[in-house]
Structure 1
Amino acid sequence: MTSSVTSVASTTGERDRFRISFASLSLDEVYNLANDPANGAIVVMSGTVRQQTDGKPVLYLEYQAYEPMALAIFRQIAAEIRQRWMDTNRVIIHHRIGKLEIGEISVLVAVGCPHRAEAFEACRYAIDTLKHNAPIWKKEYWADGSSTWVSIGACEQTNANC
């Protein structure tokens, strides 16, 4: 794990942006990066740290990622989106690492497309695929003093409420 902020443009030019960062994520920044005159819709998904999981109180989360592979997965997701929704203009994926408090944003995904249906579908595809494939792990710290590491991909595979 590194302490640097990583921002990578994809091979589709300057249209897509991917980041893994210790710094707080910005809805405004992600929206502005997804904005394009050809868009008829921008769909943004914001994942936040909630105060409980399965009724068990959470104090905070800690995220770690294997950054080079996670960024490669983000680029792959964008390429797959462009194959399925060919008119997609922008794909933005930012993920936090480090300690996150209740209410903080852990992940932002934005997709800009000419039409809302494809923007919604592509955004959902992006977050679902990220959670399933990206080498990102979170450690949940519970109010009872215990903690548990969870691969965010395991959340999807077990239908857990992660």
Structure 2
Amino acid sequence: MFSITTQLIDPAPLIAAVESPSSGALVVFEGRVRNHHLGKDVIALNYTSHPTLAQSEGQKLVDETLAKFPDVEAIAATHRTGYLKVGEKAVAIAVSSPHRPAAFAACDYLAAQLKNRLPVWKEEHFADGEVSWTK
């Protein structure tokens, strides 16, 4: 399960979506806006996407991760778009598996794939007033 949202991210529904009595491991990752980048103070990030394309590609990445890690039982992930202040969650991933190695590995893999391949772009807003686009 993957979704694009403009709302604040609450990981509880993601956790509920992957919970299973056969899973001994449930790993959750939250990617948050940090207050610095390249030695500069950051005040916010503005994420943009084509929602339909990002939704489709995000689901493909979840499916790819499930295929790559066959011991994983379920994955739920979401990425937020819009103007996010420091400390707000930009992405959340929940992964369940019978054992922790597969859950951690799949979560790490998906986080990297979302960062590198999801068609979401970010505009960094710095404390000095500078604005910079990045992938």
Q: Please give the range of the TM-score, normalised by the shorter of the 2 chains.
A: over 0.9
The reply on whether 1:78 has 2:62 as its aligned counterpart is yes
Secondary structure (helix, strand or coil) at the match of 1:140 reads strand
Aligned-residue offset at 1:118 = 0.3
Once the two structures are superposed, the pairs formed by residues 104-143 of structure 1 within 5 Å of their partners are: 104-143=88-127
- Measured after TM superposition, the shift of residue 141 of structure 1 is 0.5
Task: Note the C-alpha offset of 1:144.
Answer: 0.9
Structure 1, gaps ≥5 residues long: 1-16, 152-162
- 1:88 corresponds, among 63, 67, 72, to 72
Q: 1:97 aligns with which of 73, 81, 103?
A: 81
TM-score, length-scaled by structure 1: 0.79
Q: TM-score, with normalisation over the residues of structure 2?
A: 0.94
Q: Unaligned 5+ residue runs, structure 2?
A: none
Asked which structure has the greater RCO (Cα within 8 Å, sep 6+), the reply is 2
- Distance in 1 (CA, whole Å) between partners of 2:106 and 2:51 is 23
Q: Which moved more, 1:17-26 or 1:79-88?
A: 79-88
Identity across the alignment (%) = 33
2:39 aligned to which of 43, 48, 55: 55
Distance in 2 between residues matched to 1:77 and 1:43, nearest whole Å: 17
Counterparts of 1:82 and 1:95 in 2: how far apart (Å)? 18
Q: Secondary structure at the match of 1:61?
A: strand
**1:78 and 1:49 mapped to 2: Cα distance?**
22
Q: C-alpha root-mean-square deviation of aligned residues, in Å?
A: 1.1
- 1:87 CA displacement: 2.6
Q: 1:49-83: per-residue Cα shift (whole Å, max 9, x none)?
A: 11111220011111111222222222222222222
